[in-house]
Amino acid sequence: MLTLLVLTTLASLAVTSPVLPSQTWPPAFCNKLECPKYTMVKSTKDYEERIYDAAKWTSTVVSGMEYNTAVSEGFMKLFSYIEGNNKKKVTIPMTAPVATKVEHGQGPYCKTNFTVSFFVPFADQASPPEPSTSDVFTNPLPQMTAFVKSFGGFASETDWTDTAKALAKSLDNATVSYHKDFYYTAGYNSPFQLFDRHNEVWFIKKD
């Protein structure tokens, strides 16, 4: 009985995502928008290690050569979905970040798959409004550990790839095991925000 109690207590502690004392929620870079919950595992001068809770995202895949073109196309589809182009015809609040999974093709002329995603607001996590077009879909992501490198300003395609390379170098030096065949870019600001812009690249830890 006591064992059961202890186990139950431990289990409930484990799921409540302890937040480090210095960490306030939501982080300032979420700009008062809802954003996915994470627990900070550690912070080094080169990157942060965060455990993201399992959560649903709304996604669309754009295959192409150029990051900005592909992400704009994906963004417009998802924006249309939250503006009411869904089966319930409801408006869904904007969240942060716009996360894009980047999977490069193997050869020099191979297309890259860009999976552009909006985080589903907490109120809709249990049952996200169903998209009304087949190229937009609800995308449940499992709990995952992300290695995160942040930078400011308006991110160019080179900024994203340079940051991904620098992060990979730090992770290789730290001999951590992570998925090398894809990474995420996360943008937190609208194009109209000129200052205090926040961008992140995520590599995902291999379990």
Ligand X SMILES: *[C@@H]1O[C@H](CO)[C@@H](O)[C@H](O)[C@H]1NC(C)=O
- 103 in contact with ligand X (CB under 6 A): yes
- 105 in contact with ligand X (CB under 6 A): yes
- 93 in contact with ligand X (CB under 6 A): no
The stretch among 27-35, 67-75, 141-149, 170-178 that binds ligand X (CB under 6 A) is 170-178
Q: How far is the CB of 98 from ligand X (least distance, A)?
A: 20
Task: Report how far apart the first and last C-alpha atoms of the chain are (Å, whole number).
Answer: 33
- 34 in contact with ligand X (CB under 6 A): no
The site that binds ligand X (CB under 6 A) totals a number of residues, namely 7
Q: Which of 48, 103 has the CB closer to ligand X?
A: 103
- 43 in contact with ligand X (CB under 6 A): no
- 132 in contact with ligand X (CB under 6 A): no
Q: Which of 77, 197 has the CB closer to ligand X?
A: 77
- 48 in contact with ligand X (CB under 6 A): no
Q: How far is the CB of 63 from ligand X (least distance, A)?
A: 6
Q: Which of 31, 100 has the CB closer to ligand X?
A: 100
Of 149, 52, 64, residue with least CA distance to 115: 64
- 113 in contact with ligand X (CB under 6 A): yes
Query: DSSP labels for the chain?
Result: -HHHHHHHHHHHHHHT-PPPTT--SS-GGGTTS----EEEEEE-SS-EEEEEPPEEEEEEEEEES-HHHHHHHHHHHHHHHHTT-BTT-------S-EEEEEE--SSTTPPEEEEEEEEPPGGGSSSPPPBSSTTSEEEEEPPEEEEEEEE-SPPPHHHHHHHHHHHHHHHHHTT--B--S-EEEEE-S-TT--SS--EEEEEEBP-
- 170 in contact with ligand X (CB under 6 A): yes
Chain contacts with ligand X (rule: CB under 6 A): 63, 103, 105, 113, 170, 173-174
